[in-house]
Amino acid sequence: MVETGAATSGQEKALDGLESAEAARRLEIYGPNELPSQRRTPAWRRALKAAGDPMALLLVVASATYLILGDRFDAWVTGLALAPIVLVSLVLEGRADRALDRLKRLTAPTAIALRDGREVTLSSTQIVPDDVLIVKEGDVIPADGLLLRGSQLMLDESTLTGESQPVAKDAVEDGAQRVLWAGTTLRSGRGTMIVTATGARTRHGAIGTLLSTIEAPPTPLQRTVRRFVTQLGVVAAISCVAVVAVDLLRGTAWPAAVIAGVSLAMAAIPEEFPMVYTLYLALGAWRLARDEALIRKLPSAETLGATTVICTDKTGTLTLGRLDVAAVEPAQGGVLRAALLASEETPFDPLEQAIERAARAADGAFAFAPLLRSYAFDPRAKYVSYVREEAAGTRIYAKGSVEGILDLTAPPPAQRARVEELNRRFAARRMRVIAVAQGSIARSTDRAADERALQFVGLLAFSDPIRPGVRAALDECRRAGVRVIMLTGDHPQTAAAIAVALGFDIEGVGAVASGERIDAADDAALADLAAHASVFARTRPEQKYRLVKALQARGEVVAMTGDGTNDAPALREADIGIAMGQRGTEVAREAADLVLLDDDFTTIERAVRDGRRIFDNLKHAFSYLLAFHVPLLISALVLPIAGAPLLLLPVHLVWLELIVHPTSSLVFEADPPDADLMRRPPRREGAGILRRGEFARPLALGTTLAVGVLALYLWQWSQGVPVNHARAQALCALVLGQVLLVVVERAPEQPFWRLPLRTNVTLIVVVLAAVASLIVLVYVPLAAAAVQFEPLRLGDWGVGLAVAALATLWHEPAKAFRGARGAAAGTGAG
């Protein structure tokens, strides 16, 4: 850890921070401000992992067996096949890593530092010892340091100490009250600090380094994929042992029996499934980032498609969040001045920024009176107050909810009735309304005594236009079976007026509920309330947490938006926590699964759409992989038992793997979303990628392709056709069948001719490459010798294509008939 003396010397200098050159020098010495677990896996480790792939290990066994048999040519061919297998794995894994690296850079936390005498925003990883940082409410402290300026800062140090009570920090004190620890949260206040330690040398870093050895538990879908692969692996192992045993009992030499067993294992082991799953999530997350939605936790991309309820803040998400003072009542009563004096001098909140703009426009020479005391926001009555020392004496100013200020100031009944009527009128015009109060005090003592002097001054009404496109996005969510609940701190009448403008159905009893009802309800009553309410008004951040729990108790998959520090518990509890990127605090972003770069609800709708697309593409890829493995497994299992020559040698399986890897990894991921993607209900949470009934089609297609290919091979072999010729023709049919399987699996519910190839350029490239590789292996003498093929005649190609088409396209007329019948039924219903 850097000595505190370095920080003390920094205090003696003017607070202009480090020079850029010095900061770069220190970054070289101390390294990035990050934990070791955040650094990328070296390339040599990734290569070693790829070389340990089951397919690679089986190739080593096959190559060694060929050497024992004395077949050096096949041994060399099989050994050299290791290179493309490892290379393809590295390329595809590298593509996923690059997508994740880009996401990591986009989601990296930032800090405000003083460099070269001016404020700059930089990545937290660039912070070095002796950097001077400006910290504000909602920030996560990025490094250990000492507070140089600021008083009455409240820090949440529970991440280090487990103590939930905020800790006060003050620059004028000595000892622990000046120390700021990395990883803690600034709950309130603003200050300037000097950095004393970064990265693993911080107190938080020491704990984080220990935690880096702990892996996060797998998601339900990850467990499903692992279980599926394990089950197939067990079946493959048992089948391999059986094939080897049968061959040995039949008197086959043990090296040949081992080759048969290795071929079966290579055909059966579905090592592509985990790789495809990870790659699709990574590339889907990068596509979401281009749509202004940053996935911070990769498995959340799979959960988006299952979302059933979105709880969204109104201000800044459904509306533009660009508040402007639209009305002042009374116009000449000093309301604007009092409201400004009840605000921060450098406001962060959009409402206070609107007050400042309006007040400065009315009085450009306005100057803040010195602040004596500020009283924190009262979450119940929803107001804040400030005590200031003015030339005429000590005065207190307050602003907040109309109800809270009226209760606090207790005006005469006639005035109260008039204020409430004005509030209703403003609310009916979809305006947000606050009340303002002020008073004179002899001497500031405590909050209760000071606020007894407050007298009602007037009202401020703010306009906040609805975001373009939000109404259409809400309608799209409803058509997709996703319910949207609006949350706001506004008066119920204001909330209702905005809800009507956005198309919410608020006609039913309890459709608009208040935060008070959340407080009054027990868990069962709140679950019932959440089932019927479309709008919650006068809500507080801490009530969001209970609302999430209530909805989840009803079996809902909940997405919750938030931007403040107090929203963090609800964001963590929600199935999808969504933080605002522009106005959200660092705490909210750290707690969230998804960060909206533009704070726009339409981005949430696009994210749900993309989440469904990711899942659909995964389903198509897994169906294809399942159908792909069936003929390989059946041929590798049946032929040794039948006593026929092997159709698939290890080198053929490597070639097929080089076709299937890019096909499953790139083709389906590049497919556009289905037209009815947002017309379906959300998928059930916890459901596997393929439902029980959805296994039947790929298994049937794979089986018919296997039957067709084996029938062609065995018939030609029985007719005395040379094995190499029969093998070439059978594999021609198999590869063409695999190409047709890709086309079929792109559209499981409609005939392939209704999904044009031009919508997926990757498919065209991969298909042409597969067919070209087949032609090379059949007609180039050296390649044909390596794979034990003989050249085919034109008629042989025709037979192979016919077998492939009959074996894979037999289901297409049924899909066309089913689609036509569904369209006719829809027309009749219309």
- Region 630-647: mean pLDDT is 83
pLDDT at 497 over 60: yes
What pLDDT does 210 receive? 44
Read off the pLDDT of residues 100-122 as tens digits, 9 standing for 90 and up: 555 555 556 788 999 988 889 89
Out of 251-260, 343-352, 776-785, least confident range: 251-260
What pLDDT does 8 receive? 42
pLDDT at 592 over 70: yes
pLDDT at 55 over 60: no
What pLDDT does 623 receive? 87
Rg (the chain; Cα; Å):
34
Q: 825 or 507: whose pLDDT is higher?
A: 507
Pairwise CA distance, residues 408 & 415, whole Å: 14
Cα angle 507, 513, 518 (rounded to 5 degrees) comes to 150
Burial (0-12, 13-18, 19+ Cβ within 10 Å), 705: buried
- Region 317-340: mean pLDDT is 88
Bond prior to 84 in cis (omega within 30° of 0): no
- Region 340-358: mean pLDDT is 86
Read off the pLDDT of residues 717-746 as tens digits, 9 standing for 90 and up: 988 899 999 999 999 999 999 889 888 888
- Region 777-796: mean pLDDT is 91
485's enclosing H/E stretch is: strand 483-487
How far from the centroid of its chain's Cα atoms is residue 443's Cα? 53
How far from the centroid of its chain's Cα atoms is residue 681's Cα? 20
Read off the pLDDT of residues 268-284 as tens digits, 9 standing for 90 and up: 666 677 777 777 777 77
What pLDDT does 285 receive? 79
C-beta pairs of 376-381 under 8 Å, 24+ apart in sequence: 376/188, 378/404, 379/540, 379/542, 380/404, 381/407, 381/408
What pLDDT does 1 receive? 35
Pairwise CA distance, residues 178 & 675, whole Å: 59
Q: Six-digit token pair at 237? A: 């192992």
What pLDDT does 213 receive? 46
SS3 category, 206: helix
Pairwise CA distance, residues 168 & 54, whole Å: 57
What pLDDT does 755 receive? 73
Q: 444 or 421: whose pLDDT is higher?
A: 421
pLDDT at 132 over 90: yes
Neighbours of 584 (CB within 10 A): 26
Name the packing angle between helices 492-501 and 413-428 (round to 10°): 10
Q: 53 or 14: whose pLDDT is higher?
A: 53
pLDDT at 14 over 60: no
Side chain identity, residue 449: A
How far from the centroid of its chain's Cα atoms is residue 736's Cα? 37
Pairwise CA distance, residues 548 & 370, whole Å: 42
Closest CA to 16 of 169, 120, 125: 120
Q: Six-digit token pair at 772? A: 């070209």
Band (pLDDT 50/70/90 cuts) for residue 9 is very low
Side chain identity, residue 437: A
Q: Residue 537: CA atoms inside 13 Å, Cβ hemisphere, count? A: 19
Give bridge partners of residue 594 from the DSSP assignment: 295, 578
Pairwise CA distance, residues 628 & 659, whole Å: 11
Pairwise CA distance, residues 357 & 324, whole Å: 8
Per DSSP, 583 falls in state T
What is the secondary structure of 667-720 as a DSSP string? ITTTSPPPTTGGGSPPPPTT--SS-GGGGHHHHHHHHHHHHHHHHHHHHHHHTT
- What is the percentage of the chain residues whose pLDDT exceeds 90? 31
pLDDT at 239 over 80: no
What pLDDT does 71 receive? 57
What pLDDT does 211 receive? 42
Which position has the token pair 């038992």? 641
Inter-residue contact 437 to 457 (CB < 8 Å)? yes
pTM for the whole structure: 0.71
Closest CA to 512 of 484, 534, 490, 485: 534
What pLDDT does 194 receive? 92
Do the bridges between strand 535-537 and strand 512-514 make them parallel or antiparallel, or are there none, so unpaired? parallel
Is the alpha carbon torsion for 741, 743, 746, 752 positive or negative? negative
Instruction: Kindly report the backbone phi and psi dihedral angles of residue 68, in degrees, each rounded to the nearest multiple of 5, phi listed first.
Output: -65, -35
Total residues belonging to the chain = 830
Q: How far is CA 485 from CA 302, 308, 430, in A?
A: 22, 11, 18
Band (pLDDT 50/70/90 cuts) for residue 820 is low
Pairwise CA distance, residues 400 & 384, whole Å: 6
Q: 446 or 62: whose pLDDT is higher?
A: 446
What pLDDT does 36 receive? 60
Most confident of the ranges 147-156, 445-454, 744-753, 759-768? 445-454
Band (pLDDT 50/70/90 cuts) for residue 347 is confident
- Region 442-456: mean pLDDT is 91
pLDDT at 95 over 70: no
Inter-residue contact 770 to 656 (CB < 8 Å)? no
- Region 465-488: mean pLDDT is 92
Burial (0-12, 13-18, 19+ Cβ within 10 Å), 765: middle
What pLDDT does 136 receive? 83
What pLDDT does 371 receive? 87
pLDDT at 3 over 50: no
Closest CA to 628 of 742, 529, 714, 725: 742
Read off the pLDDT of residues 177-221 as tens digits, 9 standing for 90 and up: 788 988 888 877 778 899 999 988 888 776 555 444 444 455 556
Do the bridges between strand 293-295 and strand 483-487 make them parallel or antiparallel, or are there none, so unpaired? unpaired
Band (pLDDT 50/70/90 cuts) for residue 13 is very low
Q: Whole-number mean pLDDT of the chain?
A: 81
pLDDT at 292 over 70: yes
Q: 798 or 169: whose pLDDT is higher?
A: 798
What pLDDT does 661 receive? 65
SS3 category, 309: strand
Give bridge partners of residue 120 from the DSSP assignment: 113
